[in-house]
A and B are shown apart, each in its own frame.
Chain A
Amino acid sequence: MPVADLLIGGILLGGVYALMACGLNLIFGVMRVINFAHGDILAISALSTVSIAVGLKLPFWVAIVFVPIGCAAFGALIQVLILRRIEGAPMIMSLLATYALSTILVNVAILIWGGGYSGLPGVLSGSIRIIGVNVSLSRLVSFVCAIGVSLAVWWMLEYTRFGRAVRSVSAAPELASISGIAIERVRLATFALGTAMAGFAGVLVAPAFAIDPQLGSRFIIKAFAVIIVGGMGSYPGAILAALLLGVVEVVGSYFAGAVIGSAFLFLLMLAVLLVRPRGLLGAGVRA
């Protein structure tokens, strides 16, 4: 009995990780920037969602529409004000910049929302039965939306003109530029899209999890583990690894307690690093 429970719980958890890791991966592929603030954008989106639904008493769909848009605008702002200025610098600089940004966002969030937990108990409550397992409706909806958006973005990358531009910039920026692709515009759009994905993940997290301003740092390290296990820059790898790690976390928590359970992710990550540093589906990394 618990096997099916654990598997479904893990896969549902993995959906949100997938959406988050895909955004992170997309940004990394195109800009060679690891966005440390990705998790904090998710946390702030989740907190904003609570404020919109509980504080302003607006319907949930308002948050679904406007929070990702706000995040995209914020992402574009970061790209223009900070990341564009340090493009040629060593990677360390962008890493430090986003790490600093993450600290700023966490502390601003604590100033605004306080350090405590909040949630959205009224939205999408209740549960339904799938193959004999009770599944919470909010987790199911967030999983379906998260995987849906991840797959939609993947489709866009593979089959649209913009997607091809994104892929060529991430594969060979110089050649893309020579071929007439406006690299700067692609980078701006990619970063905005990536942060919007983090924002959407935040909206989905709000009804399903207890959220606080520190949520971001807990999620970002899991997204990092997902990306390393799945293979840096590999989109299908990230989705696969997200589901795998979701299951590992839930099974680990069941047997060893919640705190140690989430540490299992990292033991898996370390194992992957030792045995196959490029990840499950990664093709190696152009530094």
Chain B
Amino acid sequence: MKGINPLAIIGVAAIVAIVLPFVGSDYAISFSIQLLIFLVLAASWNWIGGYAGYTHFGQVGFFGIGAYVGSLLNFHYGMPWYLAAIIAALAGAAVAIPLGGAMLRLKGPFFAIGMFGLARVLEAFALGFDSITGGGTGIYLKPVSDLRPLYWAVAGVAMIMVLLTWRLDNSRLGLKLLAIREDESAAESLGLPTTRLKIGTFVASAIAPAAMGSIYAVYLGFIDPPTAFAPNMELTTIAMVLLGGMGTVLGPLVGAIVLSVVNEVLWASYPQIYLACVGVIVLLAVLFMPRGIVSLGMKKGWFRIGRPQFRRLAARKEQAAA
């Protein structure tokens, strides 16, 4: 077994993340905060979309809920941003529980579009209830003078998300989710409590995005409905997971790093066509690399394949042969 151990990559990323605020410029820190927020979103989406196989286009809904809950607490009650982020996370979970119960009755594409519609409804509510949310004018928050505390918070959450994914990948729970992804009725017939597992995963994948929404609002110093519920946020997140590799530990990490850098370059040189370019990247990834960079790397032997992953590969004929 040659190749790089995934834990080594996570370790290197962690060391870079810890050293960066001491040596990096303000620009580097600002860029890294965006990257890490996307990493958290991608890792969360990977749980429900990659492992459990319930792809959806509504995660930005939780992001937006978090952004508004956090901003309103911060704006009206002067609550410090870290407390507001924790309450936003709880609000995300509180919304996700009943929502999961209703929406997870849908399968495949219906779930995906149902969630997409829901995010748009939330945006409509944020616009419509302008006495609370400020409507289209948005809410202006006190700007933060130093981005470093935000950076530490986001980096900490990102680290936890990646480690939790690693833990999930090596656990029975991870196997159960994969069983749901591959064949839900078979999983159910084997006695797995699929409904509970799905709702649990859905709720777990809503918590961190809500917290990130709240922190993103502080980072921007401003929030309005199109920013809080931006469809391009959704597309970028999904593109990261897809590009990195759905249902892998390193996928969101690799995808977030690669696509953030590409985005930054595109945004700097071609702001008008940058979103169309992200679309083209997703399209090319779907057509030519649907399993993502990490799976490709495992096939070519760049990454060491962990024991659980290896066992799973052995069970799949086409992949074991490659």
Contacts and interface: CB of A to CB of B under 8 A. Distances in A.
B280 A92 contact: no
B108 A99 contact: no
A263 B238 CA distance: 25
Contact of A221 (B110, B116, B125, B232): B116
Interface string B50-66: 00010101000000000
Given A221-B117, A266-B118, A93 B286 contact: yes
Which of B103, B117, B286 has the largest count of A CB atoms less than 10 A from its CB?
B286
Contacts of A267: 121
A103 B272 contact: no
B128 A103 contact: no
B269 to A, nearest CB: 15
A97 B275 contact: no
A228 B124 CA distance: 20
Interface in A208-228: 217, 221, 224-225, 228
B238 A260 contact: no
Q: Is the interface of A mostly helix, strand, loop or mixed?
A: helix
Contacts of B113: 34, 36, 221, 224, 228
Contacts of B129: 260
A89 B290 contact: yes
A285 B110 CA distance: 10
Nearest to A104: B279
Contacts of A108: 276
B124 A263 contact: yes
A263 B272 CA distance: 30
B286 A103 contact: no
B282 interface: yes
B287 A86 contact: yes
A221 B116 CA distance: 8
Interface string A87-127: 00111110111011111101110010000000000000000
A172 interface: no
A45 to B, nearest CB: 19
A274 B114 CA distance: 12
A103 B106 contact: no
A91 B109 contact: yes
B128 A287 contact: no
A100 B128 contact: no
Contacts of B231: 103, 217
A238 to B, nearest CB: 14
A55 B235 CA distance: 33
B105 A287 contact: no
Contacts of A274: 102, 105
A277 interface: yes
Contact of A259 (B49, B110, B112, B127): B127
Contact of B282 (A90, A100, A256): A100
A194 B308 CA distance: 44
Given A96-B242, A97-B287, A263 B109 contact: no
Contact of A103 (B105, B112, B235): B235
A39 B114 CA distance: 16
Contact of B106 (A100, A217, A257, A277): A277
B276 A273 contact: no
A103 B273 CA distance: 11
Contacts of A221: 113, 116-117, 120
Which of B57, B108, B232, B239 has the largest count of A CB atoms less than 10 A from its CB?
B108
B278 interface: yes
B55 A95 contact: yes
A217 B121 CA distance: 12
Contacts of B272: 107, 111
B137 to A, nearest CB: 14
A284 B117 CA distance: 21
B273 A273 contact: no
B106 A273 contact: yes
B183 to A, nearest CB: 11
Contact of A96 (B116, B118, B282): B282
A175 B238 CA distance: 36
Contact of B275 (A107, A262, A266, A277): A107
A232 B273 CA distance: 35
A216 to B, nearest CB: 11
A85 interface: yes
A91 B290 CA distance: 12
A64 interface: no
B177 to A, nearest CB: 15
Which of A100, A101, A217 has the largest count of B CB atoms less than 10 A from its CB?
A100
Contacts of A99: 57, 235, 238, 282
The 10 closest A-B pairs by CB, nearest first: A100-B282, A103-B279, A104-B279, A107-B276, A259-B128, A260-B128, A266-B121, A100-B279, A34-B109, A263-B124
Given A96-B282, A217-B231, 6 more contacts: A93-B286, A99-B238, A100-B286, A221-B113, A270-B102, A270-B118
23 contacts: A28-B109, A82-B283, A82-B287, A86-B287, A92-B49, A92-B108, A99-B282, A100-B280, A103-B275, A103-B278, A108-B276, A217-B120, A217-B231, A224-B113, A260-B124, A260-B125, A260-B128, A262-B124, A263-B125, A263-B128, A266-B120, A273-B103, A285-B107
